Chain A
């Protein structure tokens, strides 16, 4: 009843192609933005920032990058973790080589490096596709993590082999490093992630988005209607890797605070891939839904026994976590293989015509 489009007429193509042609969607988005920008900072605890809010956004951003490549352009990639690592290491080097550099600029610029490396590893996609391409990107994963470990220049030759985020400030406020407050970092991540999300929505609904989807759905037909497949795929790799790289920089600089090479190993790639798949390939909203599920579920499962008055050893909680998350992933994939975003799309279609069945 609340969600009904009757009476909302569009009189121009511009109105029809607006970001949110349905008024309720726009209202909903504004509500979410108000909650994110105003309400959360007022009520969130340090714990909430560190375990939920910041990681959800960073993971959602990384998944969005992967989704552009896999969900929209149809190129399967298993190297997301390593590309995040490239972003993180690039940002670290930028900030340590040019200490005067604004950390926000450094974070946004570090994506350029991962974009370059992404394109380089995307070149095989011109000849191979599907699982074979996944294996090729897996090579990137192994190679890059090996490089992070062996190339001492990357971590400034320090003894631990890890990168430590230095304190940086802007207008007297610490943005990164141990001195930065969670609220500042939260806002920074929020602004960057919402901006990137807007760019992604625009890219995927425009000409480039159609080019990617055409490449994904049927590459031969795509070529015969005038799409340069090589260009389409490499642009997808570049943009996807850029976003993933920025997510990687945020991951270390805004959340973890320090990183060792193995942080960017395959488990991270898989985690981001799970988020993208569970959220829904070929959807922007899905990345958020998937990230909320994957990041939020373990937190909830951790807190649940205590809330119910049960005392369970932390090791058992940890194991239960893995089992429950794993079975939920299988459950979701069976119930809705197109992800949570598709679930929302179906609910929306039903809501628009509710209470009538057709």
Chain B
């Protein structure tokens, strides 16, 4: 694969080779073309944003990455290898974690349990060991609890550890969801509108967490977001979609000055 060296961001971070590449992805629902022949890549250690007006196909793209949809045409390359059609849980086990636009937490469980579910892919003790709470199951539980506690510390949600998720306010739920995704120690983290419905302070908190995650764990992040200010601030490269087509791809500055992007967002006189 060509161009594996990566680049250096304006703030001095080294971005690695291509981690995930979408090649000529097309997605059709019957006669509706949700995504039309889109290609882009996500590099290791990068914060990659996908933006676009409503109905542009951003969420569909994320759903393809996480294996929820299978593209009608085109291929997904992950870590240099072509990914065969997979079930979502298999994709998750390959190190792809995500959050959802509408919070998808397990309401009946505590925050701790929710975050622990993020570790599922790392735990494989047998049923018998779990039933007796002995040997492997217990050791695993402790080891993974430690990882989870680190994430909980990191996202500053220690005080609500044992609270059932159903009782939490919206902003905290979003943070717990991020914690669950982080607990999986993913190679690539997909965030579907992490700041939707938040006020300014919550957005600032969330942006800080996203940058910290990327900085401290070196996690590759692909995110969808509507708040342009946030996107332009935190992302390294941006893909712009409109009506299922890619109309721009590049650094925030490049994208901001792209005539097609301006037209898509502000509209053009016909």
For window 98-139 of chain B, which residues contact chain A by CB distance below 8 Å? 98, 100, 104-109, 113, 116-118, 120-121, 123, 125, 127, 130-133, 137
Question: Contact at A226–B132, with CB atoms within 8 Å?
Answer: no
Interface residue from A19, A199, A223 paired with B132 (Cβ < 8 Å): A199
A19 vs B127: C-alpha distance when bound (angstroms) = 18
Question: Contact at B66–A224, with CB atoms within 8 Å?
Answer: yes
Question: Contact at A226–B100, with CB atoms within 8 Å?
Answer: no
Question: Contact at A235–B104, with CB atoms within 8 Å?
Answer: no
Question: Contact at A217–B133, with CB atoms within 8 Å?
Answer: no
Question: Contact at B131–A214, with CB atoms within 8 Å?
Answer: no
Looking at B40-48, B88-96, B219-227, the stretch in contact with chain A turns out to be B88-96
Question: Contact at B146–A224, with CB atoms within 8 Å?
Answer: no
Question: Contact at A221–B105, with CB atoms within 8 Å?
Answer: yes
B256 within 8 A of A: no
Question: Contact at B146–A13, with CB atoms within 8 Å?
Answer: yes
Contact (A14, B142) CB under 8 Å given A220-B104, A223-B87, A223-B88: yes
Q: Which residues of A contact B105 (CB under 8 A)?
A: 217-218, 221
Question: Contact at A203–B130, with CB atoms within 8 Å?
Answer: yes
Question: Contact at A213–B66, with CB atoms within 8 Å?
Answer: no
A228 within 8 A of B: yes
A227 within 8 A of B: yes
A239 within 8 A of B: yes
B180 within 8 A of A: yes
Residue from A206, A213, A282 having most chain B Cβ neighbours under 10 A: A206
Question: Contact at B98–A224, with CB atoms within 8 Å?
Answer: yes
Number of A-B contacts (CB under 8 A): 104
B249 within 8 A of A: no
For window 16-70 of chain B, which residues contact chain A by CB distance below 8 Å? 66-68
Q: Which residues of B contact A203 (CB under 8 A)?
A: 127, 130-131
Interface size class of A (residues with CB under 8 A): 20 to 34
Question: Contact at B142–A17, with CB atoms within 8 Å?
Answer: yes
A266 → chain B, closest Cβ, in Å? 28
A203 vs B129: C-alpha distance when bound (angstroms) = 9
A211 vs B104: C-alpha distance when bound (angstroms) = 15
Q: Which residues of B contact A235 (CB under 8 A)?
A: 127
The residue of chain A having its C-beta at the shortest distance from the C-beta of B98 within the complex is A224
The residue of chain A having its C-beta at the shortest distance from the C-beta of B143 within the complex is A13
Question: Contact at B145–A13, with CB atoms within 8 Å?
Answer: yes
Q: Which residues of A contact B141 (CB under 8 A)?
A: 17, 206-207
Question: Contact at B100–A221, with CB atoms within 8 Å?
Answer: yes
**Interface residues of B, dominant DSSP:** helix
The residue of chain B having its C-beta at the shortest distance from the C-beta of A13 within the complex is B145
A216 vs B118: C-alpha distance when bound (angstroms) = 16
A317 within 8 A of B: no
Question: Contact at B116–A210, with CB atoms within 8 Å?
Answer: yes
Question: Contact at A224–B108, with CB atoms within 8 Å?
Answer: no
The residue of chain A having its C-beta at the shortest distance from the C-beta of B94 within the complex is A226
A310 within 8 A of B: no
Q: Which residues of B contact A208 (CB under 8 A)?
A: 127, 130
The residue of chain A having its C-beta at the shortest distance from the C-beta of B104 within the complex is A221
Question: Contact at B88–A13, with CB atoms within 8 Å?
Answer: no
Contact (A213, B120) CB under 8 Å given A221-B106, A226-B89, A226-B92: no
A226 vs B67: C-alpha distance when bound (angstroms) = 11
Question: Contact at B184–A226, with CB atoms within 8 Å?
Answer: yes
Question: Contact at B127–A239, with CB atoms within 8 Å?
Answer: yes
Residue from A19, A216, A228 having most chain B Cβ neighbours under 10 A: A228
Interface residue from A213, A220, A228 paired with B108 (Cβ < 8 Å): A213
The residue of chain A having its C-beta at the shortest distance from the C-beta of B146 within the complex is A13
A38 within 8 A of B: no
A333 within 8 A of B: no
Contact (A210, B127) CB under 8 Å given A13-B149, A225-B92, A228-B89: no
A220 vs B98: C-alpha distance when bound (angstroms) = 12
A297 within 8 A of B: no
For window 137-180 of chain B, which residues contact chain A by CB distance below 8 Å? 137, 140-142, 145-146, 149, 180
Interface residue from A211, A221, A226 paired with B93 (Cβ < 8 Å): A226
A239 vs B145: C-alpha distance when bound (angstroms) = 25
- Mask for A134-150, Cβ within 8 A of B = 1, else 0? 00000000000000000
Interface residue from B120, B142, B146 paired with A210 (Cβ < 8 Å): B120
Question: Contact at A216–B108, with CB atoms within 8 Å?
Answer: yes
B255 within 8 A of A: no
Q: Which residues of B contact A199 (CB under 8 A)?
A: 131-132
11 A-B pairs (CB sep. < 8 Å): A13-B142, A13-B146, A202-B130, A207-B137, A214-B120, A217-B105, A217-B106, A218-B104, A220-B104, A221-B104, A226-B92
A206-B133, A220-B104, A224-B92 are known contacts; what are 12 more A-B pairs with Cβ within 8 Å? Answer: A17-B145, A203-B131, A211-B117, A213-B113, A216-B106, A218-B106, A220-B68, A222-B117, A225-B92, A225-B118, A228-B87, A228-B89
* 8 tightest Cβ-Cβ pairs between the two chains A and B: A226-B92, A221-B104, A217-B106, A226-B121, A202-B133, A199-B131, A206-B130, A13-B145
